[in-house]
Amino acid sequence: MKKILFMPALALALGSCAMMYAPMTYTLAKQPAGGALNSSGTVTTTRDGMTVMTSAMVSGLAPNTYYVAHYHVQGTASTDPCSSGGAPIMSSAIVGQSDAMGMLKLSGSVAAADVMNATYFNIHTARDASGAPADAGVTCTSVKM
């Protein structure tokens, strides 16, 4: 009887370990739409089975302002992903508001299948809490899924 219970538990434990991927951290760089902002920060992605969790910490943004972030696929305007003009992957959108010091913390998750072809992660100023982008992006980083 002990063997019967042990084997399924071992298979479950090994199966869940096989699905976890090492976190990847990327450095954000200012984009032309960032204007006078002096933004800097990181984006960390963690894939766990069929989900990609994303967290971003950015400083140097406008205080008390809404921002929206999402992944994009590679565009054709440039070989540099952040300058390529690729289409946004809207299912990956994360909306947040910077604090009084211009610090922004974002976190969200999306189906891994939705972002597997993403080549960059972009943060835009948002028009309001709905997350509608108000510019082409203030900070960006290339990503590899």
DSSP 87: P
Query: 43 CB contacts (<8 Å, ≥6 apart)?
Result: 25, 26, 28, 54, 55, 56, 121, 141, 143
HSE on the CB side for 35, CA within 13 Å?
7
Q: What is the pLDDT of residue 49?
A: 86
Name the DSSP class of 1. -
Domain ranges of the chain: 33-142
pLDDT score for 10: 45
- What is the DSSP secondary structure assignment for residue 143, as one 8-state letter? -
pLDDT in the model for residue 115 = 97
Q: For position 19, what pLDDT does the model report?
A: 63
pTM: 0.84
**pLDDT on residue 21:** 82
What residues of the chain score a pLDDT lower than 50?
A: 1-3, 5-7, 9-18
Looking at residue 6, its pLDDT comes to 47
State which fold the 33-142 domain adopts.
Answer: Immunoglobulin-like (2.60.40)
